[in-house]
Amino acid sequence: MVVFSVKPVFSVLVVSLSLLFLLALLSPPSPFSQNSISGKPSLGEVDIWSVRRLVEWRPCNWWLQAHQTALPLETNGYIRVDCYGGLNQMRRDFCDGVGIARLLNATLVLPNGFADVYDVDYFVQHMNGFVKVIKELPPEIATKEPVLVDCSKRKGQFDYVESVLPSLLKHKYISITPAMSQRRDRYPLYAKAALCQACYKALRLTRSLEMKASQLLDAIPKPFLSLHLRFEPDMVAYSQCEYPGLSPASVKAIEAAQIDRKPWTGELARVWRQRGKCPLTPNETALILESLSISPTTNIYLAAGDGLMEIEGLTDTYTNIFTKSSLLSGEDFTNMHGNTKAALDYYVSINSDSYVATYFGNMDKMVAAMRAFNGLYKTLFLSRRGFAELTSQGLGGKELMQALWKVHRDDFAAGRGSALPECFCEFNL
């Protein structure tokens, strides 16, 4: 007769289970585990900002800490960067222009209107050693208009050294609008460093504008989410997308902005929408925010221009909405022009507790990059393509919200679209 001793086996089992339990407690949670980040959101308990990020974009050390290449003693001439469009398009073009000026060993002439928004002395001080900058032209050039060198529509293999430097050497004073598609990967590091320094360390709002922006920031209840919502008539008209169920006023405003850009129809309209080309409506935005467990009581600053349509689709769900016009008053605010008002939205957005964008435009890219530069990573771009694909599959209700959660959870964890690659490097967490 064989006799088994139960006690040793039981002891081994208890020890083994204890070790497994201890390891479970000490191990870092999986970013997609059911306990920490559920594939099925528990509304009001787990929000998108609780997702463990796997990737983080940070400013690269090669331009933050690397030794600068000394500036040549002699300049090849003067370049004025002409910037057009909205504030953030102008900022993008100007930063590109700084890199071009350094690439061509040119002295940078500040564009018209720069001093309306940015602190000139601060910029000059912080660009010392990166590129030569002047506030006033020398007398022998001051009376002349720069020779325009058209770069704006050059694409692909366009090379500034080959195409622009000869004009700079010949005329000594030129103006450019940077090319729409550039090959910055071909720039030497010192030119890239000048671009990065200009865009992320040397641009500060004028003192008066920063005071106004700070006043606005102080007036917003904390904590708050800054939401860049794009559903204006010109944006919808430009997208060539159709939206059934809009109010007569919205339809009329869109038709007035269409001119010759008629909406796509039939199969083309379906393909266009599924490629993520259609702006999210306020109602669609509210639905996605709900799916991300963003509480309806969240304080939301609406970073947007005038003319937003169908805003009730958002405010019916999210009632704590604040805008610059509701928080600021006085003649000094009403007299502000478009770019200075946009600067207020930009300032608030880069300092908000979290930032959500329904688009991926110039402001969104700049805000996301500056937030990454400042170590603020609660930044998310809502997926128009994801929303279109899921709704085209007939998903609705809880099933749609769970699917939207998964799409945005993965985007946030992977840090998609959170910074500009020219000046930022990817760090795995």
- Give tens-digit pLDDT for 201-222: 999 999 999 999 999 999 999 9
Which 8-state DSSP code applies to residue 243?
Answer: -
Split at pLDDT 50, 70, 90, the class of 145 is very high
Pairing mode of beta strands 424-428, 55-59:
antiparallel
Task: Count other C-beta atoms under 10 Å from residue 70's C-beta.
Answer: 8
Radius of gyration of the CA atoms of the chain, in A:
26
Tell me: the pLDDT tens digits for 168-177?
999 999 999 8
DSSP states of 71-105: PPSS---EEEE---SSHHHHHHHHHHHHHHHHHTT
Supply the pLDDT for residue 83.
Answer: 87
Alpha-carbon distance of 286 to 297, in angstroms, equals 12
Split at pLDDT 50, 70, 90, the class of 165 is very high
Alpha-carbon distance of 16 to 18, in angstroms, equals 5
Alpha-carbon distance of 425 to 429, in angstroms, equals 13
Residue 377 has pLDDT above 50, yes or no: yes
Alpha-carbon distance of 233 to 66, in angstroms, equals 46
Q: How far is CA 112 from the centre of its chain?
A: 25
**Residue 399 vs residues 27, 391, 405: alpha-carbon distances, Å:** 31, 10, 10
Residue 10 has pLDDT above 90, yes or no: no
Q: How far is CA 2 from the centre of its chain?
A: 74
Determine the longest span between alpha carbons in the chain, in angstroms. Answer: 114
Split at pLDDT 50, 70, 90, the class of 84 is confident
Residue 178 has pLDDT above 70, yes or no: yes
Tell me: the pLDDT tens digits for 321-363?
999 989 998 777 878 888 899 999 999 999 999 999 999 888 9
Instruction: Name which of 360, 208, 229 is nearest 288 in CA terms.
Output: 229
Residues 6+ apart with CB under 8 A from 351: 217
Split at pLDDT 50, 70, 90, the class of 237 is very high
Instruction: Name which of 82, 253, 95, 210 is nearest 151 in CA terms.
Output: 82
